[in-house]
Every structure is written in structure tokens, then in C-alpha cells.
A and B are shown apart, each in its own frame.
Chain A
Amino acid sequence: GAVVSQHPSRVICKSGTSVKIECRSLDFQATTMFWYRQFPKQSLMLMATSNEGSKATYEQGVEKDKFLINHASLTLSTLTVTSAHPEDSSFYICSARSPGLNTDTQYFGPGTRLTVL
């Protein structure tokens, strides 16, 4: 199957700092990437849909200025948590799909665990 990577896998930062998470599709071009957030023992919640070369579409309740998404190339999308606070601590997962692959399958990255002190 297709491979999606995320970096870093784990990050601990101080309150008030910004953290950037990278999501890369390693062996295919992803025109669309998705960013999810997962709290402990809970399900995945879609934060935003990222389309290459255009602005991300955010889900209701997700602050655009807080969670900056950039999808500058067909293989890379970044999520920046700006001025992070302890309540932003969570597991962030990206996924990718491409018209060139089975369009009915999303391939997920391994996730990034963010801890804000």
C-alpha cells in the first residue's frame, strides 16, 4: 500500500510556542490530505481538508488562525499549531488520497503526539 509519513512522531513544547508537523506521501502524489485530531481513548475528528495549491477547508469549530495548514506540493502538507497551549495536546494524524490510487482508500500517517507543557 501507499506510504504516508509524519514528522516529528512526538514533540514536547512549552506553552506559547509554535509547532510544525509535516505529512508526506512517500510513493504517490497526494492531491488531497486530511488532518485529524484524536484525544485519548476517543475517535478521530477531522480538522481540515488540505488541497494542493489552494486554501484548506476547515471543519466547524476549528480555528484557522490556530491551526495553519499549508499544502505546497503534491507530496507535502504541513500543520502548524500556533501559540500552543496545554489544551492543544493531542494526537494529530494526517491522511492522504490520490486520484492515481484507489480513490476509495485513505492512507494514514503514523501520527504525531503533541504535548504542550
Chain B
Amino acid sequence: AQKITQTQPGMFVQEKEAVTLDCTYDTSDPSYGLFWYKQPSSGEMIFLIYQGSYDQQNATEGRYSLNFQKARKSANLVISASQLGDSAMYFCAMRYLNTGGFKTIFGAGTRLFVKA
């Protein structure tokens, strides 16, 4: 069965430093997509970065990069040069093809606190 695991309920990071948010997944499907979303206190889900299972290179989007370790089934998010506005809840998600179509499941989330 497909599963997404985020083991860090909360993380603290000093402003301007880098932080890594962990995510591991489990699937037997060869084709899947991995996502990271940011959810600030307003509740809106903001797409950050995507990694396809067949992508050879790690995805990068500005200050966000995804450390994709396929053999270890991990897809950690790295935020470089943290900013106060990065304080939010972060969700890792995996999309796969189900019998009824594409389905996305989410991890439990990690709350990031950026300290000034």
C-alpha cells in the first residue's frame, strides 16, 4: 500500500540558515510523483516543488530543492537561506495511479519555525 511518512512534527531553524524536512514514501508502483506543499496559517496550500519518479535530477525551485533518494524512497525538502515568512506547515505528498484515476496522499506534515 502507498504511504507517506513525515517523522518531524516540528522543526526550528535560524533565519538565513538551511533546513531539511524529511519525507519517506512507500509504493510498489514504478511511476509516481512527489510533491511538497506549504500551508501558512491562512490555510491555503501552496505548491513548492515536484519530483517525478523517473526524473534523473533532483528538482529545484528557487530556494527549494528536493533531495530525491529513490533507492531509499526518500524525498527530503531542503530550504536554503530560511526567511521568517517560511514559518508554516509543510506537507509531503505522493501521487500515483489508482484504479479510479490519479490519487494523492499526504504526510502528517512538519511545522517549521524560523527564528530571527
Contact = CB atoms under 8 A, between A and B. Distances in A.
Given A57-B101, A104-B52, A111-B43, 11 more contacts: A32-B102, A42-B108, A43-B91, A43-B106, A46-B104, A51-B101, A91-B43, A105-B47, A106-B104, A108-B46, A110-B43
Contacts of B101: 32, 49, 51, 57
Interface of B: 33, 35, 37, 42-47, 50, 52, 91, 95, 100-109
A107 interface: yes
Contacts of A67: none
B106 A44 contact: yes
A91 B37 CA distance: 16
A1 B47 contact: yes
Interface of A: 1, 32, 34, 42-46, 49, 51, 57, 91, 93, 95, 97, 104-111, 113
Contacts of A106: 35, 47, 95, 104
A6 B83 CA distance: 29
B85 to A, nearest CB: 17
A108 B45 contact: yes
5 contacts: A42-B109, A43-B109, A46-B105, A49-B103, A111-B43
A95 B106 CA distance: 13
